[in-house]
């Protein structure tokens, strides 16, 4: 996207502009197809007139030949025109999807704030598709206009009054149909939504099947679903009746139009104003005209949807970054000295903290929210409201967040695993030359791998849900260790791990991170006991700093937080 | 290990779409014959509605076919030089036809929709009932996705078919059939001429369905993979950035999106080729009808008007033929989806469980599910008291289990949980704790041995015997109160509050925007993982079973949250016989008894102090876990604060006096 803060209009313009050649080609060929379709009933009339009425064999074959040529032309125009139009839509959709993902993954972040992952994924699929659909709508819309024009020219050349009846009658008919169905449509939209609710409830109950069975809630759930299903049935039936009414109404109106055309055309033909064949053509054209007119109405609805979708896409693309890149770079060799000076953010109040290069520091926060605030600042997902965080003397806010993350890795408690094998996940961010073995051993993944059906090559699916909580945590920790960053901050890495394994992990972690700065934000005594020093955060402030053993013996709050 | 490193370039690790793990056993799919029979069974009670709907639709279509002869009549009147006024009658008739056709179509479509929707509702209700009644073991063997896909995609595919494809197909087929009849009525030779198009159309349809069904299946997989990748990447955006995996993930999405786009375009090409062939059929048929008209008019056997009507008839066939052929593919996928739904809906209903497998030695009475699998909404006569159910004794004898033959995970486990006893199960991962918990909860049938649950008194109503709460959580979409009432349908607001208070959740629950009526779950108010677990515990309190099994029910929260959850869990199981799989040893240490498992066997059993004194594997576990703690107050002091019948539950961690010991 060229503008940095695009609007919905920009998104739409770029999407259409990027595919203008395909759209132009599609419109051209589509118009050819529409003209061809319009001429089919005309030719039927001509055959009746020139061949059937006068029993002229030569004329019959001549005009059937013309009809054949017409069919070849309209079929090929459709084939290649629609192809160009659909291709342009699919390409636009793909381009938008990739642009959206790039924006979401931008190191500055900010795009996913306030949006659920499902909603974002929906924008990248459904909305991108609708914006792409504008290309197709444009192509079909232009073709339909040309079809209507062709129809108009043919009819008016035949007879001005009959032409006017058809040309004015069809839009009036469509407009009437629209008018009649409008209130029904609004109602049926709302009712269909309620109908969709039933399937959502069923999916939700199945998703929670284990929980449900655990507490014996199946009969209650079945009863609840039945109520929802019946409600939905009633709503659907109302909607279906409305739709049936609309269909019947459109049929009646169309029939009346044909009757009017037959009346006017018949009288003209009887008076010798037009030929019999022209009467047949007029009736055929009146029926044909409904097609392109409906296409225009459809294209219009598509444009409206496309505009709304483009707006949603633009909102994501234009969302402000959470943090911005500063002008300074990292020193060529990061020592890993981290310094917090008067940091205030969220619940943190003037936190001062000096972490020496190579230190293994424990941080215990009495309030989990304060731990999260600290992690946000260290990861530079946000800049502190007051004070500064520095790495080797460079304030983080002066650094490009992408560059910062090559030096500082903050591994969150609920880190996601990605699709791929266990090994792929562990080595995802590891230096190409590194050996993931030590990291896997330290994080206890070696034992995990032994129990898995295909060892390291076992596929991880559904964001790691195919592993147990403890297995997932260990793989995530191994990934953080294997990434081998000068500074590593780990948050509660062993909450779902058994005690023996946890003790092993604590020792392994210390060994693997030897000489590089590591911060353990946790209240687990097993992990804290291997640290060089522990900082106690209480009420958002640093209230004490000492070794784990020292704090255990001298600080009651610490004991409460760690040993409960 | 480092030999693969060169391949680890960004983007190189994205594999093919997640493969189904080996040994999956998909849920049953009905045969074609069975699917047809099931549909007949569902329709039979509504056969008068079905017959009525069909008759009205036939009438509507038949009336509509009067249009072309009336137009032909006008042509004839003009050709025979009748006065202009003579065409008024056929025009009036045309208007009449239009009105009658519209009204009849409205009625017919309404009837067809009522039939389709009613049958669909019955099918989906039966499906959900049977799906929820499936043994968890069977669902797990099939993979979590199977049932979910059926309840979402298949139900919606069938619904969509009933809603739009079915009426449209019915109308088109009727229009085609009756139009051909009408052409034959004009002159049988027109009918023959029209049939020229049929071989082309039939072969085109066969060709299309043959290609479309696998292509669309492929498309669905590709779209699903794309969606999954998007969700992975977007919901893990923080992790992606932290590990600098932005490029790799963009490439992954790009690749999935390209694959989906490529398949979409293949589908487009297929449809376009399909229409191309239909154009050939259209031309052939139209030319044949025109030539026939020409010959018949020349021979004097039909009028020009009749020839016109025949040509118009054939021209009007284009639309229904095209839509019917396009719908063939919808019909095909709807039939496949229907077969999957019927496959599950045909499962024995929950009150008639499948006969136990030959190896299952669990006596009927001993199996908490088989003995009492029906469990309709428990009346819970005593709604006032939260814990009214007497505790039960659980006797496990010679229990053995293997998920795969030859790989046993439990060996001859004997264990008795006394009524009201709180037993903690500890051991390293893979020791068999979860398996034992699940066998006791009745999720799996043991390979050998038995689990017997003996209730001291009568369980109120048909209440649940053993409840299982695991670290796997789910918040049911809808008001919070409705979520809780799944555990006890008749619970009053007071009951809900009492249950929430028991697990320390009342404060945040009442502070929600709409209190207990706040919509939670998918699309609603987001709860923290600790709140979700408290909710699970509150459901346990409401379900009020004599036996509760908690499998690491507190593991998902961070360490600070875990402690609060453990306290909540302790209160939730109070007065019940409880088996708690604990990974935090403090939770174990406060239990009445600790059972240590290793390699699928029980290796130790006793109180915290007994086991510590025994210096066995628990003692070393405790050593490892507590680390520096030995020099400091031991958690045995918690036992003092944990009187089972005490009404207050202050879990003061600072208590330093050791009361009981």
- H or E element: which one contains B399? strand B392-404
pLDDT digits (tens, 9 = 90+) for A24-49: 999 999 999 999 988 888 898 898 88
The residue of chain A with its CA nearest to that of B426 is A498
pLDDT band at A90 (very low <50, low <70, confident <90, very high): very high
- Tell me which chain B residues have a C-beta less than 8 angstroms from the C-beta of A40: 286, 315
Residues A436 and A543 in one domain: yes
Do both A314 and A377 map to the same domain? no
- CB-based contact B9 A560, cutoff 8 Å: no
Helix (H, G, I), strand (E, B) or coil at A420: strand
Rounded Cα distance between A527 and B381, Å, is 49
Residues A283 and A364 in one domain: no
Does A316 lie in the same domain as A381? no
Q: Is the pLDDT of residue B337 over 90?
A: no
B300-314 pLDDT, tens digit per residue, is 899 988 998 898 889
Which chain A residues touch B152 with a CB distance below 8 Å? 199, 202-203
A428 and A280 inside one domain: no
- Chain B residues in contact with A221 (beta carbon < 8 A): 132, 486
Strand, helix or coil at B180? helix
Pairwise CB contact (< 8 Å): A55 & B298: yes
Strand-strand pairing, A533-538 and A517-521: unpaired
Q: Helix (H, G, I), strand (E, B), or coil: what is residue A113?
A: coil
Q: Do A207 and B474 touch (CB under 8 A)?
A: yes
**Rounded-to-integer distance, Cα B166 and Cα B80, Å:** 44
Question: In Å, how far is A356's CA from the nearest CA of chain B?
Answer: 22
Q: Are A50 and A63 in contact (CB under 8 A)?
A: yes
Q: How far apart are CA A284 and CA B657, in angstroms?
A: 99
Stretch A277-287: mean pLDDT:
82
| B12, B170, B230, best to mutate vs chain A, most A CBs in 10 Å | B230
The pLDDT value recorded for residue B231 is 83
Give residue-wise pLDDT tens across range B45-72.
999 999 999 999 999 989 988 988 898 8
Give the residue-averaged pLDDT of B346-365.
45
* One domain, residues A301 and A411: no
Q: Residue B220's pLDDT is what?
A: 80
Determine, for residues B486 and A75 on separate chains, whether the beta-carbon distance falls below 8 Å.
Answer: no
CB proximity under 8 Å: B 492-551 to A: 521-522, 529, 536, 539-540, 542-543, 545
B20: which DSSP letter? Answer: P
For residue B324, the model assigns a pLDDT of 86
Q: Do A525 and B584 touch (CB under 8 A)?
A: no
Whether residues A539 and A410 share a domain: the answer is yes
The class (CATH top level) of B392-640 is alpha beta
Q: Is residue A253 part of a domain?
A: no
The residue of chain B with its CA nearest to that of A467 is: B472
Asked if A280 and A416 sit in the same domain, the reply is no
pLDDT over 90 (residue B375): no
> So what's the pLDDT on residue B607?
92
- Regarding whether A437 and A304 lie in a shared domain, the answer is no
Cβ proximity of A367 and A347 under 8 Å: yes
Q: What is the pLDDT of residues B232-247, one digit of tens each?
A: 898 889 899 999 999 9
Q: ipTM more than 0.90?
A: no
Tell whether A52 is covered by a domain. yes
| Higher per-residue pLDDT: A462 or B324 | B324
CATH architecture of B30-345: Up-down Bundle (1.20)
Min distance A165 CA to chain B CA atoms (Å) = 15
**What pLDDT is stored for residue B531 in this prediction?**
86
Could you report the per-residue pLDDT of B628-651, keeping only the tens digit for each?
444 333 444 333 333 333 333 333
Q: Is the pLDDT of residue B359 over 70?
A: no
Question: Do A318 and A347 have their domain in common?
Answer: no
Query: Domains in chain A: how many in total?
Result: 2
Average pLDDT value for chain B: 79
Q: If you count residue pairs, one on A and one on B, with CB atoms under 8 Å apart, how many are there?
A: 556
Do residues A422 and A288 both lie within one domain? no
By residue range, what is the domain housing residue A79? 1-159+274-322
From the list B232, B556, B622, the residue facing A463 with the nearest CB is B232
> For position A149, which CATH number holds?
1.20.1560.10
Judge contact between B570 and B563, C-beta under 8 A. no
Please report, for the domain that includes residue A345, its CATH number: 3.40.50.300
A18 vs B439: CA distance, rounded Å: 60
Report yes or no on A375 lying in a domain. yes
- In this structure, are A84 and A125 located in the same domain? yes
pLDDT at A563 over 80: no
Q: How many CB atoms lie within 10 A of CB B607?
A: 17
Say which DSSP state B363 is in: -
What residues contact A316, with CB distance under 8 A and at least 6 apart?
A: A100, A103, A104, A111, A115, A120, A123
- For residue A160, the tally of other CB atoms under 10 A from its CB is 11
In chain B, helix, strand, coil percent, each to 5?
Answer: 60, 10, 30
- Rounded Cα distance between A113 and A173, Å, is 48
For chain B, give every domain's residue range.
30-345, 392-640
Q: What is the DSSP letter of A463?
A: G
| Residue A332 Cα, gap to closest chain B Cα (Å) | 18
Q: What pLDDT, on the 0 to 100 scale, is given for residue B246?
A: 93
Ramachandran quadrant class, A471 (left: phi over 0; alpha: psi -120 to 50; beta: rest): alpha
pLDDT of residue A32: 94
Chain A residues in contact with B108 by the CB 8 A cut-off are 244
Tell me: pLDDT of B556 over 80: no
| Tens-digit pLDDT profile for residues B167-205 | 888 888 999 999 999 999 999 999 999 999 889 888 988
């Amino acid at each position: 996207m060229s503008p940095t803060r695009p609007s919905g209009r920009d998104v739409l313009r770029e999407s259409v502009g990027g595919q203008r050649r395909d759209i132009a080609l599609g419109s051209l060929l589509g118009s050819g197809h529409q003209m061809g379709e319009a001429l089919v009933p005309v030719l039927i009339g001509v055959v009746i007139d020139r061949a059937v009425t006068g029993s002229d064999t030569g004329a019959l074959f001549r005009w059937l030949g013309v009809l054949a040529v017409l069919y070849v032309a309209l079929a090929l125009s459709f084939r290649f025109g629609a192809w160009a139009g659909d291709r342009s839509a699919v390409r636009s959709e793909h381009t938008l999807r990739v642009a959206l993902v790039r924006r979401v993954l931008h190191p500055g972040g900010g795009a996913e704030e306030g949006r659920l992952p499902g909603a974002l994924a929906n924008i990248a699929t459904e909305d991108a598709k609708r914006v792409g659909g504008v290309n197709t709508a444009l192509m079909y819309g232009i073709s339909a206009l040309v079809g209507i024009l062709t129809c108009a020219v043919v009819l008016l050349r035949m007879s001005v009054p009959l032409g006017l009846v058809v040309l004015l009658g069809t839009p009036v008919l469509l407009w009437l149909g629209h008018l009649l169905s409008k209130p029904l449509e609004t109602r049926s939209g709302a009712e269909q939504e309620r109908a969709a609710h039933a399937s959502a409830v069923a999916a939700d109950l199945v998703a929670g099947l284990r929980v449900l069975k655990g507490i014996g809630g199946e009969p209650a759930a079945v009863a609840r679903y039945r109520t929802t299903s019946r409600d939905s049935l009633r709503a659907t039936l109302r909607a279906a009746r409305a739709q049936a009414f609309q269909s019947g109404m459109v049929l009646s109106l169309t029939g009346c139009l044909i009757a009017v055309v037959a009346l006017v055309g018949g009288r003209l033909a009887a008076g010798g104003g037009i030929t019999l064949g022209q009467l047949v053509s007029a009736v055929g054209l009146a029926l044909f005209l409904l097609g392109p007119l409906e296409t225009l109405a459809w294209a219009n609805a598509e444009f409206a949807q496309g505009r709304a979708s483009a707006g949603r896409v633009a909102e994501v693309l234009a969302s402000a970054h959470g943090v911005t890149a500063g002008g300074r770079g990292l020193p060529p060799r990061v020592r890993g000295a981290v310094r917090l000076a008067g940091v205030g953010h969220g619940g943190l109040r003037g936190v001062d903290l000096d972490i020496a290069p190579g230190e293994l520091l424990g941080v215990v926060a009495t309030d989990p929210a304060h731990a999260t605030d600290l992690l946000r600042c260290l990861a530079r997902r946000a800049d502190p409201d007051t004070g500064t965080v520095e790495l080797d003397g460079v304030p983080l806010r002066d650094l490009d967040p992408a560059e910062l993350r090559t030096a500082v890795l903050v591994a969150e408690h609920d880190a996601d695993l990605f699709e791929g094998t266990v090994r792929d996940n562990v080595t995802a961010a590891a230096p190409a030359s590194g050996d993931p073995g030590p990291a896997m051993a330290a994080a206890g993944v070696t034992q995990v791998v032994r129990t898995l059906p295909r060892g390291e090559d076992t596929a991880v699916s559904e964001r790691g849900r195919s592993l147990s909580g403890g297995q997932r945590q260990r793989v995530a920790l191994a990934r953080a260790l294997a990434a081998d960053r000068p500074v590593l901050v780990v948050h509660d890495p062993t909450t779902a791990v058994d005690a023996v394994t946890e003790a092993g992990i604590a020792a392994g972690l210390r060994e693997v991170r030897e000489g590089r700065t590591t911060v353990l934000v946790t209240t687990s005594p097993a992990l804290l006991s291997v640290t060089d020093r522990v900082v106690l955060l209480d009420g958002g402030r640093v209230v004490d700093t000492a070794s784990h053993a020292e704090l255990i013996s001298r600080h009651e709050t610490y004991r409460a937080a760690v040993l409960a | 290990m480092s030999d693969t490193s060169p391949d680890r370039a960004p983007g190189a690790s994205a594999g093919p779409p997640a493969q189904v793990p080996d040994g999956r056993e998909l849920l049953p799919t009905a045969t074609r014959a069975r699917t047809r029979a099931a549909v007949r069974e569902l329709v039979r009670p509504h056969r008068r509605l079905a017959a009525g709907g069909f008759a009205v639709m036939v009438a509507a279509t038949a009336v509509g076919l009067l249009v072309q002869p009336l137009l032909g009549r006008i042509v004839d009147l003009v050709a025979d030089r009748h006065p202009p006024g003579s065409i008024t009658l056929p025009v009036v008739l045309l208007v009449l036809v239009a009105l009658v056709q519209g009204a009849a179509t409205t009625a017919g479509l309404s009837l067809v929709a009522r039939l389709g929707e009613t049958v669909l509702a019955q099918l989906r209700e039966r499906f959900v009932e049977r799906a929820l009644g499936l043994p968890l073991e069977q669902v797990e063997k099939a993979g979590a996705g199977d049932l979910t896909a059926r309840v979402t995609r298949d139900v919606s595919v069938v619904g969509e078919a009933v809603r739009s494809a079915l009426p449209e197909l019915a109308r088109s087929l009727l229009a085609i059939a009756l139009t051909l009849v009408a052409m034959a009525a004009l002159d049988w030779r027109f009918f023959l001429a029209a049939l020229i198009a049929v071989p082309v159309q039939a072969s085109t349809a066969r060709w299309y369905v043959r290609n479309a069904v696998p292509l669309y299946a492929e498309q669905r997989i590709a779209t699903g993979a794309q969606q999954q990748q998007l969700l992975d990447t977007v919901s893990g955006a923080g992790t992606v950035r932290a590990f600098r995996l932005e490029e790799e993930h963009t490439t992954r999405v790009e690749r999935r999106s390209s694959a989906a786009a490529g398949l979409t375009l293949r589908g487009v090409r297929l449809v376009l080729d399909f229409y191309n062939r239909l154009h050939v059929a259209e031309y052939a048929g139209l030319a044949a009808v025109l030539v026939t008209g020409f010959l018949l008019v020349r021979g004097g056997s039909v009028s020009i008007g009749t020839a016109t009507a025949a040509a118009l008839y054939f021209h009007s066939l284009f639309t229904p033929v095209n839509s019917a052929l396009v719908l063939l593919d919808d019909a095909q996928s709807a039939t496949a989806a229907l077969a999957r739904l019927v496959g599950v809906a045909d499962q024995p209903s929950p009150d008639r469980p499948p006969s136990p497998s030959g190896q299952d030695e669990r006596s009927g009475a001993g199996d908490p599910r088989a003995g009492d699998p029906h469990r309709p909404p428990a009346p819970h006569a005593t709604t006032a008291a939260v814990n009214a159910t007497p505790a039960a004794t659980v006797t496990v004898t010679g229990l053995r289990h293997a998920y795969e033959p030859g790989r046993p995970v439990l060996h001859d486990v004997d264990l008795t949980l006394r009524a009201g006893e709180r037993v903690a199960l500890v051991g390293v991962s893979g020791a068999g704790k979860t398996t034992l918990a699940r066998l006791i909860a009745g999720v799996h049938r043991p390979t050998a041995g038995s689990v017997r649950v003996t209730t001291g008194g009568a369980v109120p109503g048909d209440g649940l015997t053993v409840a299982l709460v695991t670290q796997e959580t789910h918040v049911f979409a809808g008001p919070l109160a409705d979520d809780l009432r799944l555990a006890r349908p008749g619970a009053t607001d007071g009951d809900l509050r009492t249950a929430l208070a028991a697990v320390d959740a009342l404060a945040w629950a009442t502070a929600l925007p709409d209190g207990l009526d706040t919509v939670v779950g998918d699309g609603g108010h987001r709860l923290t993982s600790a709140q979700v677990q408290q909710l699970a515990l509150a459901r346990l309190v409401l379900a009020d079973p004599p036996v509760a099994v908690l499998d690491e029910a507190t593991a998902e929260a961070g360490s600070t949250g875990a402690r609060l959850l453990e306290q909540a869990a302790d209160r939730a199981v109070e007065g019940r016989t409880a088996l708690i799989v604990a990974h935090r040893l403090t939770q174990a240490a406060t239990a009445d008894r600790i059972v240590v498992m290793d390699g699928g066997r029980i290796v130790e059993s006793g109180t915290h102090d007994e086991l510590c004194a025994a210096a066995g594997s628990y003692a070393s576990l405790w050593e490892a876990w507590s680390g520096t703690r030995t020099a400091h107050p031991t958690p045995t002091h918690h036992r003092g604060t944990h009187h089972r019948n005490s009404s207050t539950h202050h879990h003061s961690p600072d208590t330093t006096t050791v009361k009981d010991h």
